[in-house]
A and B are shown apart, each in its own frame.
Chain A
Amino acid sequence: MVLILRRPRSGRLEGHNPSDRFLGRKITPLTRRRLDSFCRNRRGFWSLWIFLAVFLVTLFAEFIANDRPFLVRFDGAWYFPVFTDYPETTFGGEFPTAADYRDPAVQKLIRAKGWMLWPLIPFSYNTINYDLPSPAPSPPSSVNWLGTDDQGRDVLARLIYGFRISVLFGLVLTVLSSIIGVAAGAVQGYFGGLVDLGFQRFIEIWTGLPMLYLLIIMASFIEPNFWWLLGLMLLFSWMSLVDVVRAEFLRARNFDYVRAARALGVSNSLIILRHVLPNATVATITFLPFILNGSITTLTSLDFLGFGLPPGSPSLGEILAQGKANLQAPWLGLTAFFVLASMLSLLIFVGEAVRDAFDPRKVVL
């Protein structure tokens, strides 16, 4: 995987190589220099790969931590309980409800006529382990590697699912707020004048709205789910990029090549897309990892306060809250703390490396 980002070193001295490609796209020498500079920053480079690897693994959380086996061989037929629900009667049980594969009775039935393959961690985020050696929250053991929380659910399983939902939430929020932010900044900066003035005043008022109270009020009307939270936070998070993009556009709209494009008769939207927007990408990309960090932290803190995802959902903030409520079970707080701290640090390292790679003043001798 590491090889995708790199190019054989021999090519570097030759100057511009017109067929230089990155991920299949033609790139300019400038982009190549930035990529090289990013790769030379060892800390950021490895942070990116570690983060991507962990994220990729958690994307397949159902295959790593689940309370149902992913493959069952029963009576000469194959079953995939991860993908489909099978009624207990399929395996010769008594109830037409979905089979509970953790039930010793069901296990006995399947074992009699075949076998099943369990994931590494035989718990899902909401599986309650009923045979704990000590009352919940129970300390780490060979069954629950990081212990259980106060409802007897496996901490490691909740961690994996929680990490996934946090990062996904962060990514979606970052992408959406960047799109809105860049578009708003572009319009303000490019057209300037009254459009700019009006928009700026609107943003000033809008930032004054207290988001937390809005969420608390909303929480009393509806049960906030992933998309509700995303929408609500999006209402307020798109403004972080507006100022940067606006400034770049204000600067770039008077460039000679923009004027030349106007003299050619190119339409405003095309000028924005082709000539001005590329100027703002550096600022935008530099900001992205930090916005991602901010989004993840916001979701975590809402969950910690209890205004986040619905009860029962796996989340890092919820584990933190349990850690606070159960100081006698330090594995809860410590786990959440270390995972959060290392995830945010990795992202910050990546962000620093990206920022340095895009910094033209940074000369590497």
Chain B
Amino acid sequence: MRQARGTAPLLEIRNLSVTFAGRGGARPVEAVKRLSLSLDRGESLALVGESGSGKSVTALSILQLLPYPLAAHGTESSIRFAGEELVGSTPEELRRVRGNKIAMVFQEPMTSLNPLHTLERQIGETLLVHKHMAPAAARERTLELLRRVGLPDAESRLGAYPHQLSGGQRQRVMIAMAIANDPDILIADEPTTALDVTIQAHILQLLKDLRDRFGMALFLITHDLTIVRKMADRICIMTEGEIVEAGPAAQIFARPRHPYTRRLLAAEPKGRPPRADPAAPDLMTADDVRVWFPIRRGLLRRVKGHVKAVDGVSLRVKKGSTVGVVGESGSGKTTLGLALLRLTEANGDIRFAEHDIAALGQRQLRPLRREMQVVFQDPFSSLSPRLSVAQIVEEGLKVHRLAASPTERRRLIEAALVEVGLDPQAAERYPHEFSGGQRQRIAIARALVLKPRFVVLDEPTSALDMSVQAQIVELLRELQTRHSLAYLFISHDLRVVRALAHEILVMKDGKIVEAGPAERVMRAPEHPYTRALMAAAFDLATVPA
């Protein structure tokens, strides 16, 4: 079936439904339900939704890349690219379209590039397959593409392998591969989620430039409303496999109609931290903390230098207040948190409520562990999959013998679950039965049940959906007021930090580049790095740091 070109939009999806057959007798899952949308030349369309809403499945079905026959389309499903039906077309026809007319950029650039191929081969492959170019011409074109995506020193990087590049550079290479054949449509599936904010701003700028310069249509899949606001002409809001609202970006942000859209827009972490008592005593103080990992070389494995993960950091956390630590990946934030809790070897002076904990052995530290707790980033890896929720929460109680009897222990567990907003019935279930947000609540309950005074929160919201993030932030604020907890809040997400922290430390390469009251740092950043970070996070602007 062919249609006349020109009248029809470049890409038109009609009544797309995708069903996955259930595993081992489970019910089939309907991932996408009767979805319709269209995309025109030179346009950017953002498909916005939380995890599990069916965004990526929609994107993959455009290129027919789903695991068929495990996945199946409904009978009325139709995806037309320039008048040509893609659903159910032959592999030969699809191969002509894939990577040639419609190209795709994936979320995780490390796993999307073949680790055994050099850049020249990675990019050259599409040219050889689709354009039948001669090797010399392909090399020339590869170089041009690498320059176009702004990879510095393109000539010498041709022979480089993916692991030799940084995350942002890898994503640039992915984009170079995608645009190698001048596609009509570029599908970008969460292209910057795995990247730091400053790099994210650069990548988005690049995508925008490419769209404007070559008239590509950009199909952007994301959960990040800041990106949408900056990039998209039109928005489709998706939840549970359906598009609930679609329209021009400005209109949706100004006048959201569907309740889900309103909830999504309202979900951005807002508000300010609860007032903290400035006269409160210091709970955790650290002076000149250093975590250096030795680099050993040569036959005798002599120490030739150090990786300075944390290099001379001093901080104090007052009772009932929050210190936010911000910085990009690799800046030593997490290591600092672990060092303060003595979960990694560190030098320097660390004092926790009158105890010089840097000098204590692990055995002497054990009674103090009750009072300082930690919540990790990924709630999927921080809960043992083989223990029930009750077993997870009670572990600390057992170690510190905080409950006199099993009944009392039970009561404490249930109280902790209620406190973090979970049903006490959940105690007998296993972590995999809960969503990400609920799992993070379990992790918080595990820390809280011990009634700690100081909690290290290591990116507790980064692995969660936007609306869930806001709830967790709300919960953390509430708990802080109720128990006058002190937090060390580690995050790369400045919005969340703004909503929680009284004071902010900005870290770069293991050192603190700026510190001060949160309001002051946010409003008038002094250090150029802080300024670049703020610009990238709040306006997606690129500032040469």
Residues of A with Cβ closer than 8 Å to B? 12-13, 15-16, 18, 28-30, 33, 36-37, 255-257, 259-267, 270, 274-275, 278, 363-365
Contacts and interface: CB of A to CB of B under 8 A. Distances in A.
22 contacts: A15-B26, A16-B429, A16-B430, A16-B433, A18-B429, A30-B385, A256-B376, A256-B377, A257-B383, A259-B338, A259-B376, A262-B343, A264-B369, A264-B395, A264-B396, A265-B367, A265-B400, A266-B396, A267-B399, A363-B23, A364-B23, A364-B24
Highest count of chain B CB atoms <10 Å: which of A18, A28, A256? A256
B386 interface: yes
Nearest to A15: B26
A363 B367 CA distance: 46
B24 A18 contact: no
Highest count of chain A CB atoms <10 Å: which of B24, B367, B385, B387? B24
B369 A263 contact: yes
A347 B5 CA distance: 65
B415 interface: no
A33 B382 contact: no
Contact of A255 (B26, B341, B381, B429): B381
Given A256-B378, A364-B24, A263 B383 contact: no
B246 to A, nearest CB: 34
A260 B365 contact: no
Given A257-B384, A264-B399, A267-B399, 15 more contacts: A16-B430, A18-B428, A36-B24, A256-B382, A259-B376, A263-B373, A264-B369, A264-B373, A264-B450, A265-B366, A265-B370, A266-B399, A274-B395, A364-B23, A365-B21
A257 B382 contact: yes
B25 interface: yes
Nearest to A260: B382
A28 B369 contact: no
Contacts of B387: 274
Interface string B52-82: 0000000000000000001000000000000
Contacts of B176: none
B395 A266 contact: yes
Contacts of A12: 24-25
A129 B70 CA distance: 66
Contacts of A266: 395-396, 399
B386 A264 contact: no
Contacts of A33: 24
B379 to A, nearest CB: 9
B27 interface: yes
A257 B381 contact: yes
Contacts of B386: 28, 278
Contacts of A267: 366, 399
B370 A263 contact: no
B382 A265 contact: no
Nearest to B367: A265
A210 B386 CA distance: 41
Nearest 4 Cβ contacts at the A-B interface: A265-B369, A256-B382, A264-B396, A265-B366
Contacts of B384: 257, 261, 274-275, 278
A256 B463 CA distance: 14
Given A18-B429, A28-B430, A257-B382, A265 B23 contact: no
A37 B429 CA distance: 23
Contacts of B341: 263
Given A18-B429, A28-B430, A260 B400 contact: no
A263 B374 contact: yes
B355 to A, nearest CB: 14
A331 to B, nearest CB: 48
Contacts of B23: 363-365
Contacts of A264: 369, 373, 395-396, 399, 446, 450
Nearest to B383: A257
Given A18-B428, A257-B384, A278-B386, A13 B343 contact: no
Nearest to A37: B24
Interface in B10-43: 21, 23-27
A13 B25 contact: yes
A183 B374 CA distance: 30
Interface string B337-378: 010010100000000000000000000011101101110111
Contacts of B396: 264-266
A266 B400 CA distance: 9
A265 B373 CA distance: 10
A267 to B, nearest CB: 8
B443 interface: yes
Given A13-B27, A18-B428, A261 B395 contact: yes
B373 A13 contact: no
Contacts of B70: 365
B531 to A, nearest CB: 33
Contacts of A256: 376-378, 381-382
B395 A13 contact: no
B443 A260 contact: yes
Contacts of B338: 259
Contacts of B400: 265
Nearest to B449: A264
Nearest to A252: B384
A266 to B, nearest CB: 5
A195 B206 CA distance: 50
A13 B22 CA distance: 10
A255 B382 CA distance: 7
B399 A265 contact: yes
A358 to B, nearest CB: 14
A262 B378 CA distance: 17
A364 B21 CA distance: 11
A270 B341 CA distance: 20
A66 to B, nearest CB: 47
Contacts of B450: 264
Interface in B501-517: none
Nearest to A364: B24
A16 B428 CA distance: 11
Contacts of A260: 374, 376, 382, 443, 446
A270 B428 CA distance: 21
Contacts of A365: 21, 23, 70
Contacts of B365: 265
Highest count of chain B CB atoms <10 Å: which of A260, A261, A266, A365? A260
Nearest to A363: B23
A4 to B, nearest CB: 21
Nearest to B363: A267
B231 to A, nearest CB: 33
B232 to A, nearest CB: 35
Highest count of chain A CB atoms <10 Å: which of B369, B386, B387, B429? B386
Contacts of A28: 386, 430
A338 B128 CA distance: 58
Nearest to A263: B374
Interface in B266-293: none
Contacts of B377: 256
A261 B383 CA distance: 10
B82 to A, nearest CB: 36
Nearest to A256: B382
A162 to B, nearest CB: 41
Contacts of B366: 265, 267
Highest count of chain A CB atoms <10 Å: which of B27, B366, B384? B384
Nearest to A13: B25
A30 B430 CA distance: 11
A270 B395 CA distance: 10
